[in-house]
Amino acid sequence: MKLLLISPRSSDKKSPVGFKVPQVALQIIAALTPENVKVSMVDEHINDIDFSENYDLVGISIMTATAKRGYHLARIFKEKGSKVVFGGIHSSVMPKEAINYGDAVVIGEAEGSWPNLIEDFKKNSLKKYYENQEPDLSKAPLPKRDSRIDRSVLGIKWLGFYTTKGCPYDCEFCSVSSVYGKRIRTLPIPLVIKDIENANSKVFLSLDDNVAANPKYAKDLFKEMARLNIEWGGQSTVSIAKDDELLQLCWKSGCRGLFVGLESVSAKSMSRMHKTLKSPKDNEDAIKKIQNTGIIFHPSFVFGFDDDTKAVFDDTLEFLYRNRITTATFNILTPYPGTRLYYRLKQEGRLISEDWSHYNHCTVTFRPKNMTERELAEGYFSLKKEFYSLSNICRRITRLQEILNPGLTQYLYVILNNIAGRQTLIDSYKALDMSVSSSIK
């Protein structure tokens, strides 16, 4: 039996060279697959699919932005005689849509259902849907590493690992808690350490939504990671700065950068969220503390909340410059299916597109409350154009030494991240056209 596992890209063409989040989901599925099954894996962000090969079963893991491409691939393989099974977060929240393009859908985490699906396939008795309760992470398999997808940018080996699942914050615009639960579940620390040791790399990315969500567990984990002599980046909430011991152990474990969802500089918007600190001043103090530790602070911002006005773009730029931010991520609020935001906007009649290829963080797919679609799209594009201007990129790189004592990996990250951000201006400009066109209709 031949099995192909695919992580599709969001379009027919590869994106420009830039940072790519490393893939681990396919490697976990491969580890759950019986040894007598020949498994191949393709991450379309890195490699093209060889359509000349024939497979008995094809598994496609889709997010909302990659769903349209995933359905296209499914049609190709079904025409070749393969059975197709969908998984991933989009399939989990839209299983009745996904089944229209495949033969089976895995809903939620696959650890408990994938072996049963393989057995049913062998018996020619695939069910439409496979779903199970939250799996016991103490019995989680080690990912089956594959050098063909364990790459990120310019061929650099930048591997992903995970330690927890679940998120207690239940943000209106996020589906993580609805798919993985609100309870923080943890992998056994020896399992995490063994996976990192087996990966044969010195640079990693934690794929956890919040690597410090369970402070006691995180401290024990960081102490063990400190002896591995690795460097890594991950996601956290800004509240990590409130625990001095946790922050210091994070640095000593090899953490050199943290992606933090600040989401907004608006005090009104911040007050509606549970994962930021009480005031903008508290957040700025936390940023300085994290940077003083030696860790790059990489904030993520979302534009289009109901409290946002056109002033939010200038306010955000001022915040970035005032806090000497070296890298950042900018997103237009996206009402992903499965989120409370999606259902609220749909009920209010404010959705203007359900073309999933537009759900890419840079296209306006809904009617904002305090500005027009055009104003949101143009404000977002102008902010990115300003932040990623060549002069500003050079200024941030040359001043990096003033902010923290960076190592080579940190310099490389800041340089490449800013180059990648500048490259996304092309996609942002195309999205600006789509957003404006949608607003006119």
pLDDT single digits (tens) 50-61: 999 999 999 999
How far CA 239 is from CA of 38, 264, 282, 434, in Å, comes to 45, 15, 10, 37
Is the pLDDT confidence value at 378 over 80? yes
In the block, tokens 């379309």 appear at 44
What residues does each domain of the chain span?
2-137, 158-440
Cβ count near 51 (within 10 Å): 10
Tell me whether domains 2-137 and 158-440 share a fold.
no
Model pLDDT, residue 168 = 84
User: C-alpha angle 435/436/440, rounded to 5°?
Assistant: 120
Residues 276-297: what's their mean pLDDT? 88
The model's pLDDT over 197-206, given as tens digits with 9 standing for 90+, comes to 998 889 999 9
Nearest Cα to 5, choosing from 78, 55, 76? 55
Cβ count near 414 (within 10 Å): 21
Burial class (CB in 10 A: 0-12, 13-18, 19+), 126: middle
- Bridge-based pairing state of the strands 164-165 and 185-186: antiparallel
User: C-alpha angle 111/168/7, rounded to 5°?
Assistant: 40
Structure tokens at 110: 């696959």
Using a pLDDT cut of 70, give the percent of the chain over it: 89
Model pLDDT, residue 271 = 57
Cβ count near 325 (within 10 Å): 19
Model pLDDT, residue 404 = 87
Model pLDDT, residue 440 = 42
CATH number of 158-440: 3.80.30.20
Cβ count near 415 (within 10 Å): 16
User: C-alpha angle 236/362/366, rounded to 5°?
Assistant: 105
CATH homologous superfamily of 2-137: Cobalamin-binding domain (3.40.50.280)
Model pLDDT, residue 270 = 59
Q: How many helices (H) and strands (E) does the chain have?
A: 17, 14
Quote the CA–CA distance of 265 and 326 in Å, as a whole number: 17
Across 79-93, 257-271, 370-384, least confident range: 257-271
- Structure confidence at residue 214 as a pLDDT band (50, 70, 90): very high
